[in-house]
Every structure is written in C-alpha cells, then in structure tokens.
Structure 1
Amino acid sequence: MDFIIEAVVEAVKHLYQTDITADAINLQETRKEFDGQVTIVTFPFTKFSRKSPEQTGAEIGEYLKANLPEVAAFNVIKGFLNISIADSYWLNQLYTEILPDTFAVAKPNGKKVMVEYSSPNTNKPLHLGHVRNNLLGFSVAQILDAAGYEVIKANLVNDRGIHICKSMLAWQLFGDGETPESTGEKGDHLVGKYYVIFDKEYKKEIEFLKSEGQTEEEAKKNAPLIKQAQEMLLKWEAGDEEVINLWKTMNTWVYDGFGKTYNALGVAFDQFYYESNTYLLGKDIVEEGLAKGVFFTKEDGSVWIDLTADGLDEKLVRRSDGTSVYMTQDLGTAQLKYDDYKMNESIYVVGNEQDYHFKVLFLILQKLGKTWAQGLYHLSYGMVDLPSGKMKSREGTVVDADDLINEMEQTAKEQTEALGKVDGFSEEDKQHLYHTIGMGALKYFLLKVDPKKRLLFDPNESVDFQGHTGPFIQYTHARIKSVMSRAGVNYADKIDIQELSAVERDLIVILTQFPAIINDAAKEYSPAVIANYIYELAKIYNKFYHEKSILQAEDESLKKFRLQLSAASAKVISKGMGLLGIEVPERM
C-alpha cells in the first residue's frame, strides 16, 4: 500500500503546509467491524492541522478520494481514517500479482543463513521434544528460503561421550550379538534399549554397594559398570580399534533409524556436524582468549571468563587438566561453521532450558572480537506436554517420536473413516492419506503456537476436521481441487468483473497479504505467523464457498472468475502449508 502512504504525505503537505516522511504514517489493517481495508491513524497529524483527530481524518479522506482513483470511500471513527479501496484495484491485484506464477516468490536478498536443528544423541531414539525441534527448525528454514535467503540446514549430532559408551557397553555385556537385522527392530530403538538396560543394571550395582555400607555418592562412583564405561570412553579417545569399530557399527544402526524418522517427519539437512569431529575444537580459541586478556587462569590451571559485569557469572572454558567443556566445544564449532559458510546469520534451534548457555556463548564470542557473532540467534522454544494417559512411551518417561507418528496416523485413520472421506480410495492411497493427515495435524498443532510458548498437544484435538487444525486446512484445499476438477477447465484469461461481493473482496485482500506474511514470519523466525494466516485464509474461502455458487454461477464470466479465485486460494494454501512442511492432498 505504498501508494496510500505517498498520497498521505502529499495530503499533509497540501492541507497543512507540512513535510512529513513515510515513517510518520501508521498504516493498519481495518478492523472487521468497520468498512474499509486500510486504516490511517490521524492523531499524529493534529499538531499540523490544529484540528480534532476526526476533522483531520475527514480532510485527509476527502483529499485521498479526490486525488486517488483507487480510493472508493472513507469513514472516520475517532482518530482512525478507514479507507475503502476500489474493486478495480483488487481485481488488478488478482490478475497482475496473485495469479501469475511469480506471486510470493522472493528475489535472492544476497544473505546466507544457517539453521541448526535436531541435534540428537546417538544413544537413544528421537522423542517428542525432538519432534517440535525438527519441525520448527525445518519450517523456519523453508520460510527464510521463501523470503530470499540462501539457507543451510545443519544438524550437530552428539555422537560421543559417556552416554554413548553406556549403550555400547550394555550391548557388549547383554546383547548376545543381536542386530537390527536379527531382531527386526529399528536401529535407534535397539541402541536405546541398551542405554536403558545399562541404567537398570547400574542402579542394581549401586543398591548392592549401598547395602555393603557405601554412601550413595561412593556407590555411584565405585559401581563396576560406570568404571567400565569410563574406561571405554578413554579407549575411544585413545583411538582403540575395537572400541572405535563397535562405536561405528552402533552409530550406523542409529543413523539408519534416525533417517527413517526424519523421512516420516518430512525433514532434511544439508550439512551434518559430528561432536566426535568437533569436541577438540575450541582449544585454539581458549589460547586466543588468554592472549587477548578475555580469559584468565586460576591457581589450579583452569581457564575462565568473568562475565559478572554483564550480569552473568564466571564461566569455565577449560578444565585444570587441559580438557574441554561443552562451552569450549561450542566456541570452536561456532567458528568452524562460520569458516565453512561465512553466513550472515546462524540460528540455533534449542529448547529454552539452554537459554543461559547461549547467552554466555554469544557474549564470549563477541568479547573475543568475532564480528560475525552479532548474527547468532538462539531460537528458544518451550516444552511439549501430552494430556495424562494419552500416550505411553516405551520406557514410561519420554514419548518416542515413532510411537507418536504411528499414533497420529492411527488417529487420522479413525477420524477419516468415521467421516467417510476415503470412499473410492485404493489401499495404498488410503495409507498415504492417513500419513498426510496425521502429519499435517501434528505439524500444524505444534507450529501454530508461538515457539517460545510451552504447549499441550492433544492428538485427537489436532485431527478435528472442523477446528483450528491442519486437517481443516487440508480439507479446504481438497475441496477447492474438487471444484476445479469438476469444472474441467483451467481458466487463465482476465475476466471483466465490475463489482465484487464483500466475501470475494475479503478473499482477494487476504491473498494479497501473503508475501508480507512470509517476510514477517522470516523476521520473527515464527512459523506460527504463516500457520495462523493460512487458517484465516481457509476460513474466508469456506465462507466464499458457502455464500457464492461457483460451478452454478449466474453466468459464465462469474463462474470463470470464481474458479480463478479458487485456484489462487489453493495455490497460496499449498505454498503456505508447504512452508510448514505440510503436504496438502488433492482429494479426501
């Protein structure tokens, strides 16, 4: 609406002999209870007009109506000037902007951004928390790409450490050589099973040692299993061939399992980083920090940074024995990622329990003079809860991602069959539809909420075809495709329509907003902006569908026009849902 802003600048100059800039104009979407599509806040202009906000609004409204053919009418409510834009403008928008293939396709902005998400441990399967992480990270990457960024989707895999050795040791001691092939079990589930077995056996040993008179702390340190796991870790770090080969074998099982889950979730990555390759990074940065006086050494030889002046605390960056801590590794990995890609921005998609860690990490890098550290951002998200008793995990603690996916497909199947929406589908088509609806329900429910908020996920509520859900939007898309299919013709020619009904106008207005919505979502790193916009669009389309006959329109021109409106709506719904990683079916 730049032409409105320019005209208001001219109006103020003409009416009140005052020069203002475009920044001084507050343009808003008109509230639904008032006529109009654009609202101008007139309070700031009263100091030039020396008149009431209402009178000022009326004068500017008269000027705009007299000088802009696009302005059909106006009304003033207190200090708000509501502008009704002419139907000819909206029709022109439909044919020159919305219907062409170039609509909402951003030009490259020359900026590069890395989005790091997933970050699993290779000692257990992905769980519900990982699901939100993966869906959020992948969607943000899709949105940034649509906004013109060059995007690198990265995954930092935690594939080393004592927790990995626990699974390896338990498999050695209790596994009897079983493999994913011999058991038919997904590799990540098999490895996760042995992590749980280790924990159970370790607790037995602790209880036994406590019965022998040791304290809890002593028993935890002296239990034979933990000592063996620590010894295995030392062997791994020393490059012991037998341990390394076992580690590679079991990691291969896990990666195969992860790959299947990622595929079911519909997420992907361009770059993998592995902690086994990065855990020694950062030692040079510690030396650099010492040389610059950013870090200091304590009497025991450990290296620290003092952030108390910044409202934080002292932070250890290297132990007294010279070994790294997580912070050391993260400093080195941040440098490695920048060296690899020279990106303008780097987004870490990590749960809000790590807020403090990232605050410290970014601050240290800035104090070290890393200019690129200004482009680092922690996309912090809240936990996902399930209603009590809705789902049980394998171990009774966290909900397994594969169990959740299966539950969603089953729920989608039950709801879809109950509504009779699969008549005439082959068995293969049915299974694909259940997966599409189930994943659409899961993704939409998790992404429609601001990432920072904790949320309660109810599988049954998420698959409601009438609610604020993914399936409601998917069904709307299928409904449009059904109408288009029955029409049997793809109408592309401009139709000479003189006047729009209110719902037709509303539909075009919301469609024109899509490119701006993508930009807003990219700026906020928030798929919720896209999700809620697409829901509003689906609601308006359904209102249009129920109020206006499409295939039985009064004349052929109106029929063609309404089919074009339908095609435009389907295109935007499909693209918008695609930015959330959600597939929309052609029929259901």
Structure 2
Amino acid sequence: MSHATGRSPVTDHFELASVTRVSLNVYLDALVARALAACSFPADPVRIVRTGRPEWGDLQCNAAFLLAKRLNRRPAEIAAELAAKLGESRVFEKVEVAGAGFINLTLSARWLSNWAQAQLASPELGVVQRAPARVMLDYGGPNVAKPLHVGHLRSLVIGESLRRILQAVGEQTLTDAHLGDWGLQMGMLIAEIRREYPQLSCFSSDPAAAATPLDECALGFGMDILQKLYPRAAAACKEDAARMKEARDLTAALQAHEPAFIALWRALRAMSLKSQQCDFAALDTHFDLLLGESDVQCEIAPMLDDLRRRGLCVESDGALVVDVAEIGDRQPVPPLLLAKSDGAALYATTDLATILTRVREHAPDRVIYVVDQRQSLHFEQVFRAAVLAGYCERRQLIHAGFGTVNGVDGKPFKTRQGGVARLSDLLGDAIDKARERLSELSDDGHGRIPAPELERLARSIGIAAVKFADLSSYRMSGYVFDPERMVSFEGRTGPYVQYACVRIRSMTRRAEALGLKAGTVRVGASTERNLALECARFADVVASAADSLAPNELAEYAFQLAQTFNRFYLDCPVLAAQDHVEQCSRLALSSLTERVLGKCLYLLGIEVPDRM
C-alpha cells in the first residue's frame, strides 16, 4: 500500500529549523506520535528505526504490533490507518505496509535535502544542547613515583572522550586526575631513598636543613631512577617485616607533616607529575584539576569523628567500618573498612573524603569515575557509604567501568618479560608500526614523505590507531592490543576513518583552486540519500553516547559514515559532476560529511592530519 506525499496537519508544528532543537529520531518519533493521535490511537512511546534492507525504504515503524493486542485488532488494519495518515505528510515520499503490519517509510528527497542543508548551517551540526549540568569526571589515577602503564590507557582515553562528548551536548565538565600521592607507598619509597641517598638534606640532623625545599637537581636523580626505586622498596617490604615497620613509621611521620619528609614528598610529586603530563599531552588528555589523595587528608579525621557521632560507623575487631549492605542485595556486600585497627586510613577513606570535598566545593550534579571494572565492588561500597552519610544522592555517583587491555593471547597485556607495560612503550609501538606503514606507502609510488612530516604523521596515525581500537570496543569489554592491525588503512580502524576525512579536505582544496564552492544540497542518487541520512543520525548518536557513557557508539558511527562516504565518492563524481549545480550540491554534502566526521574524531580525542 502506497500513499502520495502532500501537506498534512501532522507536520504543521514542525519546521526544518527544528534540526537545531531536536534530533532526527526525536523529530520523526514525534511525527508518528501525532499521527497516532490523529488516528485516535494511544500515543505510547514509539520508535522509528532504520530498515535492514534498502528495498524496504529508509525507516520502519512497528507501532501496529505494539497496539494490536491493546486494541484487539489485527496489526495490518492498524498499520493501514496509520500509514494513510503518515502518507499525507510532506516528510515522506513513500509509505507502505509490509508483511503482517510493518510500516516502511521513504523520506522525501526534498525534505532530506533541506534537513541536510539545515544541519550544515548548524554550528553544532544538529546536536541538541541540554540544560547545563555540572559533571565531574575522575580518570587517569596516576601514582607518584610510578610511570603510567597499560592499566592507565583506557581510563585516560575513555575519560577524555567522555569529557568531550558531554561538553558537546551542553554539559559543564570538571576533570580531575586524582593522584595516588599518599599512603604506605610513600613510606616505602622514603625508606629506600634514605638508603640510597643518605646525603640528601631532608635526612639531615639539622631540622632547618632537613626542611629545605628540594628539586630534581638537589635530589640528584630523575624519574628514570625513581621508577626503579619503588619496585625495589615494595619487594623489600614484602620480604622483611622490619622494612615494612620502617615504611609504616615513615608514612606516619609524613602524614603527621614532618617538615623533612614533606619536602621530599613535594619534590617526588612534582617530578612524577612532570613526567606524567608528557603522557597526558601525548594522548591529548586535559585535566582541570590535578588533586590527589593528599589534598583531602585534613578532611579524614573530622569526617570519621562525624560518622562515629552519628552512629554510621562502628568498631569491628578494632577496625572502623560502615555497614553498607542493603535489603535485596543479590550478592553479599561487605562493610566498608575506613580505618584499620592501627588507625591507618585506606583508599576507601580517601575516596569517601574526596566525595565529601567535591560535593562541598563544586556541587556537581554527577561525579563519573572512569576506573577499571574490577574495582566495581569498591565503588559500590564507597558510593553507598556516601549516600548513608548524606553527602549526596546515589544517582550523582557513577562508576563508568571498563575491561582490560589484552595481549594477542587474550590475557591482560604484559611485556615480553611478563611485567606491566609502560604507556609510553605501548604508544611507541603503535607509532613505530604507523611509521613502517607510511614508509611502505611512500615506496609504493605515493610520493616520498619528508622525514619531519613522516614523524608527525606517524605519531598522529599511531595514537589515533590506539584510541580508536580502545574506543570502538564496548567499554565493559576488553580488547586486544595489536599495533599491526590497529594501524591498517583498511577495515574498522582509526587510520581508515582519518583517511576519509583527509580525502574530503583534499578534494575541497582542489575545488577551491578551481573556483568551486559548496552550494545547496540536492539529494538524488541513492548513495547521496544514504550519505545525507547517515549524517542526519549524528545528533542521535552523540546523545546516546552521552546517555550511555559509551564512546564506542560514536566510533562505530564514524566508521559507518566513512564507509558511506567512500561509496558515495565512488558512485557520485563531485568535481567531475555533470553540471555546476550538481558539483556544488555534492561539494556541500561532502562538506557536511567532513564536518560531521571531523567532529566525531574530535569527540574521540583523535586529530585529523593534513595528509595521509
């Protein structure tokens, strides 16, 4: 059954300027809701979806099946009435009832062209802006005296992408790396440094000399040595009870703000941050705050006193705990341990104090922790304790967990020696593979790339490959780190998507040299329709990625859009189009694609090089 297009009361309240106010899915869903109301059918939430096959049209609606049982009518009858009403709309070129009651919809070429033109004119490319909310993102989690390693990769890449995605929909973001800069590991390190470098001023018997500020020059060693000292210290403490006691005593002295140890701690913290910020820069990761565990230490004692006074924490075998079990728990949730029997605070104590501080100082609507999923129980305990204490509501605290980075053997990634892989080494491997690939292309007659440009391209493509491989995987799943596959210019990879964007920009430059400019979008050929429709999905994908905290949705969309453009590029000549009007139309559609694709890559934290 087919219905001709025409003006309809169903669309009177919707103008094409709506592209800046609602996404395509919301627009069409509202259109169906009005049609349901016009047919006196219940206007329950109904979704329009893309069809699985092109011969079925652009979209499909299964509202008839949802209403059939409720109305005690055959789906085909309901579909016929609804199709007739939708067929009056100028939005659709064709409306058909198929099978037992599916409604297949083909958008009007003119309407789709206008929507594409409106999207091109939109500064946000149609992404609907929400009422601003303040969202804090906690990701990265580096530790003092330790290099960033493979375990930090996903937190940094996912966290940065979420920051950009949430900003794209109008959220106000505030990011914090939350440094691991306090606790027993610092006592271990101080003990080891005292053995190796007893001449340091902080170990002087003269109190004034011991409190003298230190820097890397005064220390006499750099980050490369510091990173070797901690593993040595940790191993010694594990093997020797006396060394562990010494570390605990030094930790207590540091936490009591012994001037000499504070001077050493500040120097180690500064040195570590300087090194780690190089890795942040390599990944183009941005932090508004670089606070650490140390910044909330003054909050812990009064917080614990308050919790005791209110009866929210109790002593158990000398330790201080909060009972966070809830009726209905499917699995046991142990009490949250806030202090050991010796009075030492724990990660949980610091995390709870951090929530208290963040709520008081920044009043966030949400705090999102981008941390390994293996810490889910820890965060569930801490979040429940924060709610019990009245610091915030449960909906404000979100653990955006993620799976592990795995080797080709499917197990968590390790170095060949079985150790934890440094982040800089992982990025270096991908950059090396990208350099090899670019050199191969140069040797195959694509024109030799000058050495400085080759290095810039290798870095851009290598890091894009790592990020895309990470972000294209479902956040909760692990993925295999395989640089050889990641840097391929074919398949579902970062370089493939980058190349599509570079190709459009190159074509645009050639058009400008010929005096051609983008004109009005006129969708005609099937691949033009597909490309315009794929671009129109952008706002819905961004909104969904923001709601689900799922950058993989955006990465998958970017890949599909790149594929759709490449098919359009092969089927529809742009610069060699039949006439000037067609040239300018296809340039406009290409420009829209380039802007959408470029924005996708930006939201994934991926830059687009000038050439590839």
Quote the Cα distance in structure 1 between the aligned partners of 2:188 and 2:125.
53
Shift of 1:174: 3.1
The two structures, once aligned, show a CA RMSD in angstroms of 2.8
Q: 1:235 to 1:47 in 2, by over 3 A?
A: closer
Contact 2:335 2:381 in 1 (8 A): no
1:24 matches 2:45: yes
Contact kept, 8 Å, 2:352 with 2:382, in 1: the verdict is yes
* Residue in structure 1 matched with residue 211 of structure 2 by the alignment: none
CA contact (8 A) 1:74 1:81 kept: yes
Structure 2 counterparts to residues 48-63 of structure 1, below 5 A: 51-63=73-85
Gap change, CA 1:528 and 1:390, over 3 Å in 2: closer
Deviation at 1:125, TM superposition (A): 0.1
Query: Of 339, 349, 360, which aligns to 1:318?
Result: 339
Distance 2:199 2:599 in 1: 48
State the distance in 1 between where 2:119 and 2:279 align: 39
Q: How many correspondences in the alignment?
A: 564
Q: 1:122 aligns with which of 137, 144, 162?
A: 144
CA distance in 2 between partners of 1:475 and 1:427 (Å): 20
Native 8 Å contact 2:519 2:585 kept in 1? no
Residue 508 of structure 1 pairs with residue 532 of structure 2: yes
Deviation at 1:48, TM superposition (A): 6.9
Cα deviation for residue 31 of structure 1 reads 1.8
Equivalent runs, 1:103-502 vs 2, <5 Å = 103-107=125-129, 109-174=131-196, 187-199=222-234, 206=239, 220-222=240-242, 225-298=243-316, 300=318, 302-305=320-323, 307=325, 309=327, 310=329, 311-387=332-408, 393=415, 396-420=418-442, 423=447, 425-488=449-512, 489=515, 491-494=517-520, 497=522, 500-502=524-526
Percentage of identical aligned residues: 25
Structure 1 pair 10/437, CA: closer, same or farther in 2 (3 Å)?
closer
Gaps of at least 5 residues in structure 1 are 207-219
Q: Which amino acid aligns with 1:534?
A: A
- Is the contact between residue 520 and residue 584 of structure 2 (CA under 8 Å) also seen in structure 1? no
Q: Which amino acid aligns with 1:469?
A: T
Secondary structure at the residue paired with 2:290? strand
Q: Given that residues 322 and 385 in structure 2 are in contact (C-alpha distance below 8 angstroms), is that contact kept between their aligned partners in structure 1?
A: no
Gaps of 5+ in 2: 1-23, 201-214
Deviation at residue 89 of structure 1 after TM alignment: 0.7
Alignment partner of 2:89 out of 65, 68, 85: 68
Q: What is the alpha-carbon distance in structure 1 between the residues aligned to residue 38 and residue 122 of structure 2?
A: 38
Distance 1:53 1:572, change over 3 A: same
Q: Under a length normalisation based on structure 1, what TM-score does the superposition of the two structures give?
A: 0.89
Q: For residues 171 and 27 of structure 1, do their structure 2 counterparts lie closer, same or farther at Cα, with a shift above 3 Å needed?
A: same
How far apart are the structure 2 equivalents of 1:56 and 1:520? 30
Secondary structure of 2:431's counterpart equals helix
* CA 305–166 in structure 1, closer or farther in 2 if over 3 Å, else same: same
TM-score, length basis structure 2: 0.85
- Tell me the amino acid that sits aligned with residue 187 of structure 2: C
CA distance in 1, matches of 2:220, 2:164: 35
In the alignment, residue 89 of structure 1 is paired with which amino acid? W
Query: What displacement does 1:585 show?
Result: 1.4
Structure 2: how far apart are the matches of 1:183 and 1:428? 36
Once structures 1 and 2 are overlaid, which stretch shifts more, 468-477 or 388-397? 388-397
Determine the C-alpha separation between the residues in 1 that align with 2:250 and 2:35.
78
Moved more, 79-88 or 392-401: 392-401
With over 3 angstroms needed to count, the CA separation of the structure-2 counterparts of 1:146 and 1:184, relative to structure 1, is farther
Q: CA deviation at 1:168?
A: 3.4
Is 1:526 matched up with 2:550? yes
2:400 aligned counterpart, secondary structure: strand
Deviation at 1:238, TM superposition (A): 2.9
- Maintained 8 Å contact 2:188/2:237: no
**CA separation of 1:458/1:304 partners in 2, compared to 1, >3 Å: closer, same or farther?**
same
* SS across alignment from 1:258: helix
- The alpha-carbon distance between structure 1 residues 183 and 417, as it changes in their structure 2 partners (threshold 3 A), is farther
The offset of 1:482, in angstroms, is: 1.3
Equivalent-residue separation in structure 1 for 2:132 and 2:260 (angstroms): 48
* Cα distance change, pair 569–175 in 1 and its aligned pair in 2 (3 A): farther
One-letter amino acid of the structure 2 residue matched with residue 163 of structure 1: Q
Residues 129-179 of structure 1: CA deviation (Å, up to 9, x unaligned): 101110011111110010110000111101122223333333342369899
8 Å Cα contact 1:481-1:587 kept in structure 2: no
**Cα distance 1:43–1:159, how it changes in 2: closer, same or farther (>3 A)?**
same
- Matched residue SS, 1:381: coil
Q: Which piece of structure 1 moves more, 439-448 or 347-356?
A: 347-356
